[in-house]
Structure 1
Amino acid sequence: MRLSAAAKDRFAQVLTSAGLALVLAVLALASPSPAQAEGRIRIAEQYGIVYLLLNVARDQQLIEKHGKAEGVDISVEWAKLSGGSAVNDALLSGAVDIAGAGVGPLLTIWDRTRGKQNVKGVASLGNFPYYLVTNNPNVKSIADFTERDRIALPAVGVSVQSRVLQLASAKLWGDAHYDKLDKISVALPHPDAAAAIIAGGTEITGHFGNPPFQEQELAENPKARIVLNSYDVLGGPSSSTVLFATEKFRKDNPKTYKAFQLALQEAAEFATANPEKAADTYLRVTGAKLDRDFLIKIIKNPDVQFKLAPQNTYTLAQFMHKVGAIKTAPASWREYFFDDAVTAQGS
C-alpha cells in the first residue's frame, strides 16, 4: 500500500526532525551545562498530542508569564527526544531540568535515583488512551503476534507502552512470561512507526503509540485496527505521560518550579475550555501536517482529560515491582511524586 501525499510529507519531515533531535541530544549529553539557581528551565518533550499542555505553555509563554509574577525572568529551553531511555539519560546527565515521558520511565528513574538525585513526578499531562494498532489481518489479539511480527514502541522495556504491553502479557500468559513480546518489540519514534503502519509492507506490523499517530493509522490504513487499549489493561482512565525532575532542581529553583506548575495549570484550563484553539496551537508549535478537524476530534474525545494530578498510576508501579523491573515497592503513588498542590488529588 502506498503512502498518501500527506503521509509522505509527514514522514520526510519526521526523519529530518528526528535526526536533528538526535544530534541535539548527543551534543547535550556530551557536554551538559549545570543546573542554575532560578531563572532557567530546560524541558525535554517527545512526540504527540499528549504534550499539548507544553505546546500551549510554550506558545503563550506561560512559564515566563508566571515567572514574572514570582519576580523571576525565566529563560525556557526546549528539547525534543524520543523514548524514555533518552529522556531519563538527559535528565540524569544534567542536560535538561524537566523530563517528559510515560509513567514507566518515571518509575524506573525514581527507583534508580532513590537516595541520590531523588527524581520524582512534577505533574501529569493528562489522561489519554494508548492503542496498540496492527495492520496484520491475522492478529486479533496480542496472542496472535508471531516471530514474523514486529511491534514498534518508543523504548523496549522502558516506555509506558512497553510496560503496559508487559502487564497485558502477564495477565494473558502469567507473570513469568510478562516480557514474552519484548523479543519482537523494536524502538522507533512514533512518527516513523505510524508511517510504517500506514504504508504496510514492512516488518513493522504493530505500533503501540499515542495520539495523534494511532488515530492517523486507523484513518489512513483500512487494514489497521486496535488490538489493545491501555485503559482496558490498567482498569480505567490513567495518566499516560508525566513530567519529572530531580529533588535538587525543585529545591534550588522554587520560584521557577512554581511558575512552571502554574503555567501547566493555566494550559490545562485553556485546552479544556478551548479545544479548537488548542488544536491550532498544536499545529502551529509542532508544524504537524494534520487536518484541523481531525485533531479537534481527538482532543474532544471523552476519554481525554487534561489533569495535572496523576491518575491510576499505582497499578503499573505494583506490577513493575512484582516482576522485578523496579527494586523498591512504593507504598502509594505519593512516593514517586513530589508533594505539591497540583498533584494532591492523584492516584
Structure 2
Amino acid sequence: MAFKTFLRTAFTVAALGAALAAPARAEVSEVRISKGFGILYLPLFVMQDQQFLEKRAKAAGLGDIKVTWLMLDGGNVINDAMMAGTLDFAGTGAPGFVTLWAKAKGIPGVEVVGVSGMSSTSLWMMSNKPELKSLKDFSATDKIALPGIKTSLAAVVLQMIAAKEFGDANYAKMDPMTVSLPHPEALAALVGGKTEIKAHFTSPPFQYIEAKSAGIHRVLNSVDYLGNLTLDVTFAPKKFVDANPKMTQAFIDAMDDANALIAKDKKLAAEIFAKGSKVKIDAAEVQEMIEDKDARFTATPEGVMKFAEFMHKAGSIKVKPAKWSDMFVPQLAGRSGS
C-alpha cells in the first residue's frame, strides 16, 4: 500500500513538474482587424500603412505576425462579425461597442472589452432639401441615411441630439426616418437627389464632399449639441485579450504610434488616408479635415461614459458601467479617460 501511495505521489509530482516546465501557450501569430470608411478611422489607416502593429509585435518578442485588414461599416455589422469570431480587433463607433459590451457582460467566452479610444470629430447632418433647416423641419417622408439604425455611432448621436432638441422622452423621435446605408452609398444617394434620402448624418470626409456639392447644405453639427466626445474606439473579445496580453499591448502601442504620426505629420497622414480610402479624394482636402478644430486622435477614451449613461437611461443597454475603465483593458486604467 505504501509503495502504491509512493507511486501515486511520484506520478503527481512528475506531472506537476512537467506542466510547470512546459512552455506557456504561444500567443497568436495572426490577427484580424476591421476599420471603417471615414476619417474617424484614420489611426487604423496609418497603423496599417506604416505596419506599426507588426513592428510593435516583433519588438515584444512575438516574431513576424500576419495582419489581415477588413473594411466594415456600421455597428450592427461589426458586432455580428465579432460575435461570430471572425475579428480579433475592431474599430467601431463608441455606442456600438457599448451596446455589445453591455449585452455580453458576464457571459464567459462572449464578453468584449475596449482596447483603446481612437478619434473624435464633428458629425454633420447634410441635406439636399432646402426646407430642412433643423430637426424640427423633418417629416416622416424625409429619410435620413446613416450606417446602421439605432445602434450605430450616427444613430445614437442623433438620438442624443434629439433628446436635447425635443426633450429626453423624445430621444427616438427621428428613428423612424433613418435608413441604414454605408457612408459612400449614402453620399451618392444624397448628391444624386433621386431617392427618398433627403439627409445624411455623417462624418469626414463625406460631409466635406457633400458640403462642396451643388444643392447640399448643413442642417446641424453634433459638437454644437454634445461637445467633443470620443466617437470611435477599438475593442476585442475579452477571451482574446486575456490569452494574448503581449499582442494587446502591442496594439495599444501601435495605436499610440499612429496618433503620434498624425500629430507630427498631418500631410503624411492625409496622404495615407487618401491612398487607402474607398472615396476619391485629394490629400490636401483630407489634411484640411485632420486640421479641423473638432478633430482629435488619441488612444485615451474621452466622454465614453456619456454614451453609456444615455444608452442606459434610454433602455438600449441593461448594464451600466460604474466608470469608464470598467469597459476597457487594464492597460488603460492609468490614463485620464472619462
Rounded Cα–Cα distance in structure 2 between residues aligned with 1:286 and 1:218: 19
Which residue of structure 2 aligns with residue 146 of structure 1? 139
Task: From 88, 100, 106, give the equivalent of 1:97.
Answer: 88
Q: Distance in 2 between matches of 1:341 and 1:179?
A: 33
Q: CA RMSD in A?
A: 1.5
Question: Secondary structure of the residue that 1:243 maps to in structure 2?
Answer: strand
**How does 1:43-54 map onto structure 2 within 5 Å?**
43-54=33-44
CA apart distance, 1:341: 3.5
| 1:344 is the counterpart of 2:328 | no
1:159 positional shift: 0.5
Deviates more, 1:335-344 or 1:49-58: 335-344
1:200 correspondence with 2:193: yes
For 2:210, the equivalent position in structure 1 comes to 217
CA shift for structure 1 position 74: 1.7
Q: C-alpha separation between the residues in 1 aligned to 2:334 and 2:270?
A: 25
Amino acid at match of 1:226: R
Which of 276, 284, 289 is matched with 1:285 structurally?
276
Which of 212, 226, 230 is 2:218 aligned to? Answer: 226
Kept in 2: contact 1:110–1:336 (CA 8 A): yes
Q: Aligned equivalents of 1:340 and 1:225: distance in 2?
A: 43
Cα separation, 2, equivalents of 1:168 and 1:288 = 28
How far off its partner does 1:169 sit?
A: 1.6
Scaled by the length of structure 1, what TM-score is found?
0.86
Larger Rg belongs to: 2
Give 3-state SS (helix, strand or coil) of 1:110's partner.
Answer: helix
Match of 1:272 in 2: 263
1:164–1:233 Cα contact (<8 Å) kept: no
Other structure's SS at 1:262 match: helix
**Aligned-pair identity (%):** 39
TM superposition shift of 1:284: 2.0
**Which residue in 2 is equivalent to 1:297?**
288
User: In 2, distance between residues paired with 1:342 and 1:258?
Assistant: 13
Spell out, residue by residue over 1:106-142, the C-alpha distance to the aligned partner (whole angstroms, 9 max, x if none).
1100110100232121112122111111121111111
Question: Which residue, 44, 52, 55 being the options, matches 1:65?
Answer: 55
Shift of 1:240: 1.3
Work out whether residues 103 and 242 of structure 1, in 8 Å CA contact, stay in contact via their aligned partners in 2: yes
Q: Is the 8 A contact 1:108 1:325 kept in 2?
A: yes
State the partner residue of 1:159.
152
1:188 aligned to 177, 181, 188, which one?
181
Gap regions ≥5 residues in structure 2:
1-25
Cα deviations across residues 295-339 of structure 1 (Å, max 9, x unaligned)? 111111121111111112222211111110000122222222222
Measured in 1, the distance between the counterparts of 2:65 and 2:320 equals 37
Q: How many angstroms does 1:256 deviate by?
A: 1.2
Residue 132 of structure 2 aligns to a residue whose secondary structure is coil
Structure 1: stretches of 5+ with no match in the other structure: 1-35
CA change 1:342–1:135 in 2 (3 A) is farther
Aligned residue for 1:293, secondary structure, equals helix
Cα 1:321–1:342 shift into 2, 3 Å: closer
1:58 alignment partner, SS class: helix
Q: Which amino acid aligns with 2:189?
A: A
How far residue 176 of structure 1 moved from its aligned partner, in angstroms, is: 2.8
Given that 2:75 and 2:92 are in contact with CA atoms closer than 8 Å, whether structure 1 keeps it comes out as yes
Equivalent position of 1:319 in the other structure: 310
